[in-house]
Amino acid sequence: MTQQTIAVGRDVRAEARQRAAELRESFTRRGILAVNLLSSPGAGKTTLLQATARHWQGRRRMAVLVGDLATDRDAQRLAPLAPTVQLTTGGACHLELPLVERGLERLGELDCEFLFIENIGNLVCPASHDLAEHLRVIVLSTTEGDDKPGKYPKAFRTSQILVINKTDLLPHVPFSIDAAVADALLIQPQLRSVAVSAHRGDAIGDWCALLEQAHSELILNGHVCHSNR
Amino acid sequence: MHELSLVRSLLAQVNRIRSDRAGLAVDGVHVEVGPLSGVEPELLVSAFEQLAGDFGMTGTQLVIDEVPLMANCPSCGTVTVEPVRIRCPICGDDGVTIVSGDEVRLQSVTIQCPEPEEQAL
Ligand SMILES: Nc1nc2c(ncn2[C@@H]2O[C@H](COP(=O)(O)OP(=O)(O)OP(=O)(O)O)[C@@H](O)[C@H]2O)c(=O)[nH]1
Ligand SMILES: [Mg+2]
Ligand SMILES: [Zn+2]
């Protein structure tokens, strides 16, 4: 018997990342922009998707995979507005690729330009999982404090768009949009940001314009600027 | 807490390496974890202790090295950066690319292998 040390030097998630890259490529070929939405619980991901669907009604086609620990509440809110499939994690704090793949089977023929994946409300675990998205969007609401980017650097580093939500509450909470954006830019200088009120509908057009621009880039160049390292 | 699923994947990879080498017991698994790896080393250890038995690795030692966040600066080369201020500490350029410290890296696996003549028998 001998003892051998075998050098490996590989990211444990390399295989999962490779599978995600292949799925992303298949979205690209079909002209579908995949968007992974991250936030803390209750920052307004579902409300933002409802507002987005209403804004695009009859003009742009979207579908949604919505993650939830146990209930189908978010799916019920979205189903009247866009084809929606609920992904139940059974308590897990984030979505992983196999769950997304099963959800896609249930969505059937994807006749859309935008596929949204609403992740579980959590700024830690979801940041480590590539769900085959072209764009990772982080939603930060004004009630959470403007010091959050530095506390969750991985989520902010790996995102391309920052949505600051609940701007209607700014008169009531100590939150500076400039401070939050500045803190986020220290971690990801390429981050684009937009401040909205998903509830009132303020600046939803600006948010949708960012998505439409990314979709055009995808069609034109076959990729969207991806800066997650 | 997503360390469990990560450790399950890690143990499956280690098992594949062991069977490729016709290895027997796995003595040690060595991983590197950085500030942007998205895992807590302590949670990684407890997940490993919880799951190792399911993969026939009761008693296998998990060694975790905590490494800094390293990036490549276009002008200065490889530099260490702060996770909350990702820019080159020398020239201030924020157009750096992270090269390590943002993943969980399986560095090496130490296994017991039969001697070549034992294997032939
Ligand atoms: N005032 C205000 N409230 C909002 C806004 N957007 C969402 N909300 C409220 O915030 C609460 C949470 O919104 P959701 O859309 O369910 O948030 P979520 O991120 O999908 O939540 P989880 O999926 O549970 O993580 C709800 O009561 C919304 O009505 C906003 O722009 N302004
Ligand atoms: Mg929701
Ligand atoms: Zn430099």
Tokens found for residue B74: 């276009």
**What is chain B's alpha carbon radius of gyration, rounded to the nearest angstrom?**
18
Q: Which of B2, B94, B106 sits opposite A128 (nearest CB)?
A: B2
| d(C-alpha A28, C-alpha A179), whole Å | 35
Q: How far is A93 from chain B (nearest CA, A)?
A: 7
Task: Strand A62-68: give its sheet, edge to edge.
Answer: A84-88, A62-68, A114-118, A33-39, A135-141, A161-165, A192-195
pLDDT averaged over 10-residue windows placed end to end, chain A, 229 residues: 92 95 96 98 98 97 95 95 94 91 93 97 94 98 97 96 98 98 97 98 98 97 76
pLDDT top residue among B121 and A46: A46
C-alpha count within 13 angstroms, C-beta hemisphere, residue A79:
8
Is the CB of A11 less than 8 angstroms away from the CB of B39? no
Q: Which atom of ligand 1 is nearest to the CA of A121?
A: 25
Q: What domains can be seen in chain B, in order of their start residue? A: 3-112 (3.30.2320.80)
Q: Which of B27, B38, B107 sits opposite A154 (nearest CB)?
A: B38
End-to-end CA distance of chain B, in Å?
46
Q: Tell me: pLDDT of B121 over 70.
A: no
| Residues B36-77 pLDDT 10s | 999 999 999 999 999 999 999 999 999 999 999 999 999 999
Q: Which atom of ligand 1 is nearest to the CA of A167?
A: 31
B chain contacts of residue A1, beta-carbon cutoff 8 Å: 24, 112-115, 118
CATH number of A12-221: 3.40.50.300
Average pLDDT over residues B94-107: 96
Q: Tell me: pLDDT of B120 over 60.
A: no
The total of other beta-carbon atoms located within 10 Å of residue A219's CB is: 12
Q: How far lies B2's CA from each of A39, A153, A217, B40, B44, in Å? A: 16, 17, 33, 10, 9
H helix runs in A30-96, sequence order: 45-56, 73-78
| Residues A109-161 pLDDT 10s | 889 999 999 999 999 999 999 999 999 999 999 999 999 999 999 999 999 99
Q: Tell me: pLDDT of B117 over 70.
A: no
Question: What is the interface pTM, i.e. ipTM, of the complex?
Answer: 0.88
Tokens found for residue A166: 């609940």
Q: Quick check: B32 contacting A, CB < 8 Å?
A: no
